[in-house]
Amino acid sequence: MNRILIAEDEQRIAAFLDKGLRRNGFTTEIANDGSAAYALASSGAFDLLILDIGLPEVDGFSVLRRLRGEHHEIPVIILTARGEVDDTVAGLDAGADDYMRKPFAFDELLARIRLRLRSTAKPEEIVLRSGDLTLDLRTRRAATGGRQVELTAREFGLLETFLRHPDQVLTREQLLSRVWGFHFDPGSNVVDVYVRYLRGKLGDDRIETVRGIGYRLVP
């Protein structure tokens, strides 16, 4: 499932994009300012960035130039109300892969997203690994310490997420979004429950609790 970062400070547009992309099978996250957009886009956790130019704190052009200056290759589609030719040229020169003006047709944006994702697609890994822990994406089975481990659908999704972000601290909100596909009540403890299930099957020391933040898979 492709992960798309929406860098948009106008709540109505951000919610519209979030809802539409999720309905089309994408996992999404919203950044409301330029600082958050850069931090998330540079993390390697996303497959594409939809970037508004008029972001607070740090504008979209600055975010894009910094990403490209640090050789982050995430595809970027600029989505902005600025319609001047100079703005379009500046965005493409800064390293954007595409440029759309507001108001926009969602179906056209969706087609452009799919085109960019196809052009940058990498061969899908079949087996994910971390030390002696493996997860076969075809059979949906895990193995550790020479023994097979049977997983439920949610346990599989959670472990896959950890293995795709080795040694990275993932918040409960990120895990909820990527594994369950929608937002639970912020007070829900479903992530903690399933982490406990995985520890019971993989070993207590395999998933580390980072107090006040979330969890990390220990290499």
**Domains of the chain as residue ranges with CATH:** 3-119 (3.40.50.2300), 127-217 (1.10.10.10)
Whether 59 contacts 87, CB under 8 Å: no
In this prediction, residue 124 carries a pLDDT of 59
Q: What is the pLDDT of residue 10?
A: 93
Please state the pTM of the whole predicted model: 0.57
CA 41 to chain centroid, in Å, comes to: 8
pLDDT by position in tens, the chain (length 219): 689 999 999 999 999 999 999 999 899 999 999 999 999 999 888 999 999 998 999 999 999 999 999 989 899 999 888 766 676 777 788 888 898 888 889 999 999 999 988 876 655 568 898 989 999 988 888 999 889 999 998 899 999 999 988 778 988 888 887 787 655 565 678 899 999 999 999 999 899 999 888 999 987
Q: What is the pLDDT of residue 94?
A: 82
What is the per-residue pLDDT for 31?
94
Q: Tell me, what's the pLDDT at 181?
A: 65
Dist. CA 60–CA 37, nearest whole Å: 9
Helix locations, the chain, DSSP H: 11-23, 34-41, 60-69, 85-94, 106-119, 153-164, 172-175, 190-202
Lookup result for tokens 């609790």:
209
Q: What is the dihedral of CA 168, 128, 25, 109, to 10 degrees?
A: 70
